[in-house]
Amino acid sequence: SLLPLKDEVFKEIKDVGEYVAISSLHLFHGDMDLPPLSFHASLEEQWDEEEESEEIETVLRGVPPVYHQYLDVFSKVKAEKLLPHCACDHHIKLEGILPPIGVIYLLSNQESETLQAYISENLEKGFIRPSSSSTGAPFLYVKKKDGGLGLCVDYRKLNAVTRKNRYPVPPMNQILTIFNVSTIFSKIDLHGAYNLLRIKEGEEDLTAFRTKYGSYEYLAMPFGLPNAPASFQNLVNDFFEDSLDVFFVVYLDDIMVCSSSEEEHVKHVASVLQRLRDNNLFAKASKCVFLASSVEYLGYVVSSDGLRMNSSKVQQILNWPQPQNIKALQYFLCFANFYCCFIKNYSKKITSLTSLLKEDSPFIINEEALSQFQSLKEAFTTAPILFHLNPSLPTIVETDASDYALGAVLSQVNDSGKNRIAFDCCKLSPAELNYEIYDKELLGIVWALKRWRAFLLSLSNPFEVLTDHPSLHYFMSFKVLTCCQALEEFSDLVDKIQKEVLQDKDYKEILQQLARGESISDYSLEPQAKLLLFKDRVVIPSNEELQLNIPQKRHDSPLPAHPGQEKTLKLIKRDFHWAGMNQFIKDNVSSCQQCPRNKNIHQKKFGLLKPLQIPSGPWNSLSMDFITQLPLSNNFD
């Protein structure tokens, strides 16, 4: 309905006009500390003359009145105009050669009409222009859902010689952690996001595409270029860098604003819309959501409680037909993997399905695989909500290991009980499959702590680790050995070490000082065997015969089984110390004659020599050798 504005409520916007559409009056408060309003003389002047009335009505319905001062940010006509160059223009850097010229395919009447419409529309917008480029890509058509044709340029040849832009796009799971204290959300979807970015001046000819009507090149960034996501993320990060992760996050063209109160949220959204206006970025009102308690973002439903799966995507999983080949199974698992964080022991639930992906075995769905397929689909219907992490609550990490996979659950306890924060799982590697069960259980704990390191480091209090394997208790209790116990295998050397240390000029004085009760840094005296210790390790005097006995026990004996230099050094440094020990051990191991004899050979077996037969006459047998891997010349090899 149309309501007259009262001057006493909105004194700053009385010049806007007599009426304005108000759909939710409760959002307005006279004492709100909003940014300074900058309305034009009338509401309609925020729009381009070409803007259709239907589009204006759509925006007015989708945008709350509190943001009507930013209606120009939602202008479709302005969003479809070529913007000026900026510091973040899309740069195409080649590896040194131009891509080959693409072919011009024969077109049907419908395809020709679609092509003409595409060229006319983008010439009018200023997104493309006629080109005289020495290169040019072909174009292809894809079927739309409505039966129409969509045109896309085939840049595969260009992408193959383009140097990749490694600008980071933020991981989804990291973005979603910012919402833990938010209660109200808004989502802003940028209009024609990629077209908002210009191709760097002088590089437009690299985007040329060839048609039967001529060649054209893009002035705005098109779809299909490998560095397009990185360039656009660089653009939005540059525009919003001082506010990112404070009250909003940006993933490519999706902006999520989150706040803990409605009044605060109105100011936050207004700040984002003002930033869009200042940088010539535009939003699509029909895809935006404002002032909501839950919002779909990046495939998840985000609320103040936590994350839920999108019900429409879950329904797609439930309606998925039984896979009939490897490709169909790969599609299903790829789709299901997106929500695997909601399913406990996910890797365990798909073992029979993943075994069907082996290329060396026929694709036959047995009863076990079919049962897993159905049970996995059912698991998505009962998956719990994943709550946001609260650093102040008691936290529990539960881990488990099976013969072929690891699983973990991160939970927190509050008055309502135990809330699930995250599920995770992984398949064991071929080497890890050989571990004993207690080692697998310990591996599961280490893996879980690494996986959730960022969560656990942000906690205010210590957390608990729960496991169901009792043998892990022994890993938490270390048996302290005395020096004599550590030297049991060297019992015949203890007396010799005691005598030689007393005669060693470097250690004789240290022993005398310790005997008098004086303190010396890093040195001590073992009370039972009266051995000199350096940082709790037995000091071996400068006697080569004594020193050679140590690696004989820790390297040459059958129990250690001739480990390499580094492992032998670690074994010896646990209990012993002497000057120049590192080099001594390395020289000793490198001179071991048994090591190279018994070392595994990792190269392929040599084939049998097959000499050529002696020819019976000249020119009966010819041999040629080829020079390969030469660089391309004029795009040809």
Q: Which of 279, 229, 271 is nearest to 254 (CA)?
A: 229
Task: Calculate the CA 101 to chain-centre distance.
Answer: 35
Checking if the pLDDT of 15 tops 70, the result is no
Specify the pLDDT at position 215. Answer: 92
* Predicted confidence (pLDDT) per residue in 184-209, tens digit: 999 999 887 778 888 999 999 999 99
The residues, ordered by sequence, that sit 6+ positions from 609 with a Cβ below 8 Å of its Cβ are none
Q: Do domains 386-472 and 483-598 have the same CATH topology?
A: no
The CATH number of 386-472 is 3.10.20.370
More confident: 37 or 506 = 506
The tokens for 325 are 């080949």
The tokens for 197 are 């970015």
Rg for the chain, CA atoms, rounded:
36
Domain definitions of the chain by residue range: 2-71, 308-381, 386-472, 483-598
Distance CA 595, CA 564 (A): 9
CATH 1.10.3720.10 at 483-598, yes or no: no
Report the predicted TM-score, pTM, of the whole model to 2 decimal places. Answer: 0.63
- Highest mean pLDDT of the ranges 17-26, 442-451, 555-564: 442-451
Residue 533 gets the label, from left (phi > 0), alpha (psi -120 to 50) or beta, of beta
Specify the pLDDT at position 199. Answer: 92
The residues that bridge with 209 in the sheet, in sequence order, are 137, 216
For the chain, how far is it from start to end, CA to CA, in angstroms? 71
The tokens for 581 are 């020990």
Distance CA 183, CA 294 (A): 8
The residues that bridge with 254 in the sheet, in sequence order, are 189, 251
Checking if the pLDDT of 344 tops 60, the result is yes
The pLDDT > 90 percentage for the chain reads 8
Element (H, E) at 609: none
Q: How far is CA 61 from each of CA 17, 22, 67, 297, 319, rounded to the nearest angstrom?
A: 18, 9, 12, 21, 35
Distance CA 202, CA 210 (A): 19
The conformation of residue 604, written as its DSSP 8-state character, comes to P
* Least confident stretch, 50-54, 89-93, 390-394: 50-54
- Work out whether strand 537-539 and strand 576-577 pair parallel, antiparallel, or are unpaired: parallel
The tokens for 212 are 């039967």
* Predicted confidence (pLDDT) per residue in 259-305, tens digit: 888 888 999 999 999 989 888 888 888 889 898 888 888 888 888 88
Checking if the pLDDT of 61 tops 80, the result is no
The conformation of residue 71, written as its DSSP 8-state character, comes to G
3-state secondary structure 149-213: EEEEECCHHHHHCECCCCCCCCCHHHHHHHHCCCCEEEEEEECCHHHHCEECCCCHHHHCEEECC
Mean pLDDT of 441-468: 88
Q: Which of 263, 243, 311 is nearest to 255 (CA)?
A: 243
Distance CA 422, CA 407 (A): 11
More confident: 54 or 116 = 116
Asked whether 268 and 259 are in contact (CB, 8 A), the reply is yes
Q: How far is CA 274 from each of CA 71, 270, 382, 407, rounded to the nearest angstrom?
A: 11, 6, 42, 46
Q: Which of 174, 175, 180, 82 is nearest to 125 (CA)?
A: 82
Which residue spans within 324-452 are E strands per DSSP?
Answer: 386-387, 395-401, 405-414, 417-427
* Predicted confidence (pLDDT) per residue in 108-127, tens digit: 888 899 899 999 999 988 89
* Predicted confidence (pLDDT) per residue in 229-238, tens digit: 899 888 888 8
DSSP character string of 539-558 = EPPS-HHHHHHHHIIIIIST
Specify the pLDDT at position 216. Answer: 93
The tokens for 602 are 């990792």
Mean pLDDT, the chain, rounded, equals 80
Checking if the pLDDT of 332 tops 90, the result is no
DSSP character string of 263-276 = HHHHHHHHHHHHHH
* Least confident stretch, 183-192, 392-401, 506-515: 506-515
Specify the pLDDT at position 39. Answer: 39
Total Cβ atoms within 10 A of residue 448: 26
More confident: 214 or 470 = 214
Helix (H, G, I), strand (E, B) or coil at 413: strand
- Highest mean pLDDT of the ranges 55-59, 563-567, 604-608: 563-567
Amino acid in the structure at residue 512? Q
Sign of CA dihedral 594, 595, 596, 597: positive
Q: How far is CA 361 from each of CA 333, 357, 564, 586, 589, rounded to the nearest angstrom?
A: 18, 8, 39, 47, 45
The tokens for 501 are 């240390």
